[in-house]
Amino acid sequence: MNIALLIIDVQEAFIGHRKEEKEYHNTFEYINEAASLFRKAGKPVIVIRDIEGGNDDTFQNVEELMTQDSDVEVLKVYSNSFWKTNLEEILKEKNIDFVVLCGNAAEYCVLATYNGAIERNFGAAMLQHGIFACHPSGLMDIYYNRALISFEVISYMLGNC
């Protein structure tokens, strides 16, 4: 199995207003630690930004997201990160067959990208505790009805790739 991490839409315009929430910082701990594991294992970290509303400073990633020069950036204008982007091409070039998704928002872009991955025959799971939602019920719906993967399982998988 060859896996990649997709970090979706963690931009100032979308989640910057949530910085005072405890869940905000907890979620970024999981996202950043998962990204660190992927990088240490030499696996791709792909940071996806939605630029439909613009590409000024408010549409940049929040400062809490720890990125590195080795990360791949994909720009999108649709909810599904695969739609009319080069994401599928990037994953195929790197022989990726499984993606772990995290970021914003569970009910929208993360779910649309999850479904897009499945439609394109990639295995997919969402990072447990690594997803933002617009509504609490949106997050619970994901947790009940979609594949999740824990940090511990990712750590085990990457240590044994």
Question: What pLDDT, in 10s, does the model give residues 92-135?
Answer: 999 999 999 999 999 999 999 999 999 999 999 999 999 999 98
At 1 the pLDDT is: 86
Cβ atoms of 148 and 126 within 8 Å: the answer is yes
**Mean pLDDT along residues 75-97:** 98
Range 9-159: architecture per CATH: 3-Layer(aba) Sandwich (3.40)
Q: What residue spans of 71-150 are helical by DSSP H?
A: 87-93, 111-119, 136-145
Would the pTM of this model clear 0.85, i.e. be above it?
Answer: yes
Decide if pLDDT at 161 tops 60: no
Sign of CA dihedral 69, 46, 55, 83: positive
At 136 the pLDDT is: 80
DSSP-derived 3-state class of residue 7: strand
Report domain extents, the chain.
Answer: 9-159
